[in-house]
Amino acid sequence: MDMPKIESRVFDALVVGAGFSGLYQLHCLRDKLGLSALVLEAGAGVGGTWYWNRYPGARCDSESHGYCYTFSKELFDGWEWSERYPGQPEILRYLNYVADRLDLKRDIRFDSRVKGARYDEGANFWRIVTNDGAEISARYLITAVGCLSTANIPDFPGLADFKGQWVHTGQWPHKGVDFSGKRVGFIGTGSTGIQAIPVIAETAAHLTVFQRTANYSVPARNAPLTPEFRHYVSENHAAIRRATRSTQNGQPFGIEDRSAFDVPPERRLELYEAAWNKGGLQFRATFRDLLANKAANDTAADFIKSKIRQIVKDPATADKLADIDHPYAAKRPPIDTDYFETYNRANVSLVDVRVAPIEAITRSGLQTRDGREYALDIIVFATGFDAMTGPLLRMNIAGRDGLTLAEAWRAGPRNYLGLQVAGFPNLFMITGPGSPSVLTNMPVAIEQHVEWITGCIAHMRERGIARIEARPESMDRWVKTVNEAADATLLPMARHSWYLGANVPGKPRVFMPYAGGMVRYRSICDDLVRKGYEGFALSR
Ligand SMILES: Cc1cc2nc3c(=O)[nH]c(=O)nc-3n(C[C@H](O)[C@H](O)[C@H](O)COP(=O)(O)OP(=O)(O)OC[C@H]3O[C@@H](n4cnc5c(N)ncnc54)[C@H](O)[C@@H]3O)c2cc1C
């Protein structure tokens, strides 16, 4: 793809990242506010998550009619999804459709990774440098770098000497990986692993899954969309948009307003059975208290564990898969196609690395602490991401007086609403830590943040305001609010969760996303705008 020429090195706004967030932010700044704006993107194309995560089985777990932009009816009407949960290639095509339809690519510089950003207080400009030496200045710096864009590759000794091939699911080779006839080792059983394992098992000679954390999963029941459902979607743009804006997690379905204990046990089982057969994330919506009350959660957890034992024929394997150490949905709840069934295949085996941790990667495979060696041709790391803070910290952002974001966040991310940090004027973060982000259907959270930032910049320009930044005391209050919101749920009980940063050695353990729900969050953001951007310092 041709690189857009940078006619100017000075822009009103610089956006980092060309996924769902960056594309919409560019459209708003350029086409609605008339600003000069540039997007810098490390990848060679648009799509973000859906550009990078090309592993077999990659698909979304939000339902297609909710996993898209809704800000434009024309854009919504001009696209038709094929499946309940579209696969990565289709979502990538969708984001290219959006970028082309809105003519965005001419203002995106691809293969361009931001490696430094410094606030120049005298000039009130951000000075940004990229990996290829470009230097760009912008009044507003907006990070659209995603919550899950920095691959977390565990530092196993010996990996460099492995003579087979190794891949991380979040950096999947564009030419694909040929598993046929290969002995494959698979590390990681989160949402990604649960999607990829059944597909890789179909062609690998043998697949060995190394499981540290057993996980719940509910069948996705993915299927092509029926003509009737497509018709419903095409006729109901406004209703779908309203629905995703009225639910706590931005999904187009609501959570039932009943406790797990409002119904007798037999009825509860019937309701779980119906939800299991319907499939998808709606399982979580069966009762309103699944994430608030441990006893209620246990009823769902026990139901899923009993399903695992029914599906998996080998009792020892079923035991390992059902030995789950956290409440249901306290980690990102996966949905699957034949995940547990895959362990009935003769070419699949499960190793519990809680019992015997991975000691090292050897030249020819992998060794566990009990002295066992597994000969492997390919190792797949589905080990997730340095989530939420990783991509932000890697940009080496320095604010006023040279204060780096890494210093400001040494004890964990501190900000106001996930949007702004004191000492970093005119820096806005789309779906930053402290916002609902990964606990929601993300296009909804992204549209809300992009529109809030756009409104804020418009407000500043109309009133001649040069700078906006969070007040330190607002950050203190917000950090407390984020902690209280998490503590009101069972989410912090998943001690090994990436929501807490626990998957990255040395990362401060702080519950990062705001768990108070999208509706409440949106009303907080709107309310402080009505109060003249309460909690922010604005200066001329
Ligand atoms: C496998 C997978 C499945 C998912 N499924 C769902 C789902 O079903 N529902 C849901 O709501 N969410 C899902 N998500 C979350 C998903 O990340 C969001 O839905 C959404 O795609 C995020 O868009 P974004 O633009 O904010 O970030 P991203 O899509 O992550 O895009 C960020 C972009 O920023 C670029 N970037 C980062 N740092 C730099 C830098 N320093 N310089 C230049 N460019 C940089 C990256 O290259 C990337 O292209 C999934 C995530 C993964 C990984």
User: Mind spelling out the 3-state secondary structure of 383-427?
Assistant: CCECCCCHHHHCCCEECHHHCEHHHHCCCCCCCECCCECCCCCCE
Closest of 322, 378, 325, 310 to residue 350, by C-alpha: 322
According to the model, what pLDDT value does residue 2 have?
44
Q: How far is the CA of 377 from the centre of ligand 1 (A)?
A: 30
Residue 5 has pLDDT above 70, yes or no: no
CA-to-CA distance for 190 and 152, rounded, in angstroms? 13
Write down the pLDDT at residue 497.
Answer: 82
Task: Determine what percent of the chain is predicted with pLDDT higher than 90.
Answer: 90
Q: What is the pLDDT of residues 53-68, one digit of tens each?
A: 999 999 999 999 999 9
Give the C-alpha separation, 95 to 26, whole Å.
Answer: 13
Question: Which residue's alpha carbon is nearest to atom 41 within ligand 1?
Answer: 114
Q: Which atom of ligand 1 is nearest to 446's Cα?
A: 26
84, 322, 358, 424 from 139: Cα distances, Å:
41, 52, 48, 12
Q: What phi and psi, each to the nearest 5 degrees, are found at residue 471?
A: -80, 145
Atom of ligand 1 nearest to the CA of 394: 41
Distance 161 CA to ligand 1 centre (A): 31
Q: How far apart are CA 193 and CA 91, in angstroms?
A: 19
Residue tagged 């705008």 (tokens): 529
Ligand 1 closest atom vs CA 112 = 43
For a mutational test of ligand 1's pocket, the pick from 25, 95, 149, i.e. the residue with the most ligand atoms closer than 8 A to its C-beta, is: 149
If you average pLDDT over residues 344-348, what whole number do you get? 98
Ligand 1 atom with least separation from CA of 441: 11
By most ligand atoms within 8 Å of CB, the mutation choice from 26, 61, 104, 442 for ligand 1 is 442
Ligand 1 pocket check for 21: Cβ under 6 Å: yes
Q: What's the rounded Cα separation, in Å, for the pair 327 and 216?
A: 9
Per-residue pLDDT tens over the stretch 181-206: 999 999 999 999 999 999 999 999 99
Is 50 exceeded by the pLDDT of residue 226? yes
Residue in 254, 242, 249, 287 with CA at minimum distance from that of residue 519: 249
